[in-house]
Every structure is written in structure tokens, then in C-alpha cells.
Structure 1
Amino acid sequence: MLCLFEALAKEGHGHKDQKIMKNLFTLCIIHQHPKILLGMKKRGLGAGRWNGFGGKVKEGEPIEEAVLRETKEEVGVIATGIERRGIINFEFNGNPEILEVHIFKADNFLGEPIESDEMKPQWFHTDEIPFGNMWSDDIYWMPLFLSGKKFKGKFLFGKSDVILEYRLKEVEEI
């Protein structure tokens, strides 16, 4: 995917003559059909929005361990039955950083979801997902996620989190 972003940089998408930095992140959505567990982000990037649980992968940390660590830190549970469902690269116009987010589904968990300093958990029926109060890209990939599909994609955001362009495709393997 890095080649895609290098090509975009040459096309003038905010990276011209800048070194591109890619940072790894995780996102875990606990899905117990017909409900999903989301958290209201209380601080930091995405504050005031509903989201899954996750965060930055530490240097040398396996991605699967990072998603378990972040879920435990943010909602107090140990995710079980995790499966990687997607990888999305997020780019912000004028910023040389690319966020590579590995999206996981957990079909169960150990413990009881609790509020943390960072997130306030709440269950939502899949017919009542609060897309209007989530990142604007979620409405594009969430249907693939909920239907059990695997996917890869890229979103380019402009000012005020407006999606300038995106590519999203279903894949057999992640």
C-alpha cells in the first residue's frame, strides 16, 4: 500500500518532497450479533465520537498483542475469538503521516465492560449504529465488517474530516 501513497504524493496530495511516515494502529470491535460494543472517546484523537477500541502499536509489539492490550486498557475486557477483518490506511491532506489501522473482530470477551479514562462503552444494535457521531469512513467499511467480509482500503481526509477520496475492496486474505 505504501506504493499507492507514494504515487499520491507525486500527484500533489500533500506529501510532495516530504518523507512519508507510517504508524501502525489497531481497532477492535466486539460483535455479538445483533449487537456491537463501541466506546465514546473521551479524549485525544476522535474525542466525542463512538469508535471501537484500540490504539498505537508499540515498537516491536505484535499487532495481535497490541489489540488485546488496547482493548483491556480502554474497556477492561480481554477480547477473545479475535479475527483480523481489515486493514485501512488513513491519510490526512498536508500531513506526511499515514495511519495503518488493523481492524479486528472479537466475538467474545472475558470480564465486564467498564468505563475508563479514555472510553465509555455502550452496546448498539447493528440497525442502530450511530454513524452520525462516528468517523465518517466507518459507514463505508462497517457493512463489510458486519457481514463477515475481509477488506483493505485507503481514505484521504481533508479539512474538518471530509473524505476527499477513498478506495475500499473486499479481499480473500489479510
Structure 2
Amino acid sequence: MSTITGKKQLTLIFVLDESNKKILLGMKKRGFGHGKFNGFGGKVEKDETILEGAHRELEEEAFVTTPELHRVGLLLFTFENDPKALEVHVFKTNTYNGEPKESEEMRPEWFSYDAIPYDTMWYDDQYWLPIMLQDKHFIGRFDFKEDQTTIINEELKTIDTELPSEWEL
């Protein structure tokens, strides 16, 4: 494992249709995570809060807005031989405005909770996404090999309360 010398803050947003037990995922079309389904999100810009970044990323990648985002998780990811960790703030919403549309970066698609394509997602998602779908909160850390597929170490725990929107690891 590499020594962590810094971290990059990222957001990850999931739009849920809880009454129909569906989740909106996006197929990443370019860049980091290309070819994988994931939630929507990305880098927090210099002059914005984590919550502002989450709202912006959802609108840029799926063309939807939401009046409310609930922070449900905080994850730290490291990759072998990369000294910069990724601090990912996970949000969910049940309310959105607009119809999800494909962007340059993501192609949105609805999935039933029982048909989530874990085999085409980041390997760690199978550990914490079910916790989120059970309406629980979590914090965790996943250390990956350089191949970005093999998990070397994982720590994950559920917590009793929603995380404050600006809390960091």
C-alpha cells in the first residue's frame, strides 16, 4: 500500500425511485471508471461546497436537478502506487426534476433493485450499495491494487445518523 500524501474530494449521487424499487445509474463513457455503471458525480470545484458540487455534477451528467440530497455515506479509496486518496461523499435523493438524459460523460439507465448490474460496476459497490438501499448510513475504506479491480483491504461500517454535509475523513 502507498503512503497517502493527499486526497481529492469527490461526490457520488444516486437517484432512487423507492416506490418502484429502482435506481438510476449511469454508464461512464469516458475518463476514470470508463465502461462501468455508477452513480453520478465527480470533483468538487475550488470555490464550492461538497453539497454544491453534488448538485452541479448531477445536473451536468444526467440533466436532472433535485431540491434535496441526503448524505448517506463517506468512502475513502486508495490505489496501489498512487499517493492521492479519493474521498467520496455519497448522496441519495428520491425527488428530482427533469427527465434523465445522456450527457457527454454518462448514459443514464434505470435498474430494479434486484437487477443492479454489479458485474459492470466498481467491485466495492456490492458491499455498500445494499446498505444505502436499506436506508442506512455508512463509512468505509477500500484499498485497491494498481489494477483498480482487486481489493487489498476493506473496512466498512454502518452508522446510526446521517453524516453532516461537510464532514470529512
Same fold (TM over 0.5): yes
TM-score, scaled to structure 2:
0.91
Q: How many residues align?
A: 159
Q: Distance in 2 between matches of 1:36 and 1:135?
A: 16
Unaligned ranges ≥5, structure 2: 164-169
Q: Distance in 1 between matches of 2:54 and 2:101?
A: 17
1:155 is aligned, of 142, 149, 166, to: 142
Instruction: Please state how far the C-alpha of 1:171 moved relative to its aligned partner.
Output: 1.0
Moved over 4 A (4+): none
Q: Distance in 1 between matches of 2:5 and 2:108?
A: 34
Q: Distance in 1 between matches of 2:80 and 2:48?
A: 28
Q: Does 1:165 align with 2:150?
A: no
3-state SS in 2 of match to 1:117: coil
Q: Distance in 2 between matches of 1:148 and 1:23?
A: 26
Instruction: Please state how far the C-alpha of 1:93 moved relative to its aligned partner.
Output: 1.1
Q: Which residue of 1 aligns with 2:166?
A: none
Q: Distance in 1 between matches of 2:70 and 2:48?
A: 17
Letter matched to residue 15 of structure 2: I
Unaligned ranges ≥5, structure 1: 1-12
Letter matched to residue 158 of structure 2: E
Q: Which residue of 1 aligns with 2:35?
A: 48
Q: Distance in 2 between matches of 1:99 and 1:159?
A: 14
Identical-residue share of aligned pairs (%): 44
Structure with bigger gyration radius: 1
Instruction: Please state how far the C-alpha of 1:14 moved relative to its aligned partner.
Output: 1.6
2:52 is aligned, of 54, 62, 65, to: 65
Q: Is the 8 A contact 2:25 2:109 kept in 1?
A: yes
Instruction: Please state how far the C-alpha of 1:99 moved relative to its aligned partner.
Output: 0.4
Q: Distance in 1 between matches of 2:158 and 2:5?
A: 26
1:75 is aligned, of 62, 67, 76, to: 62
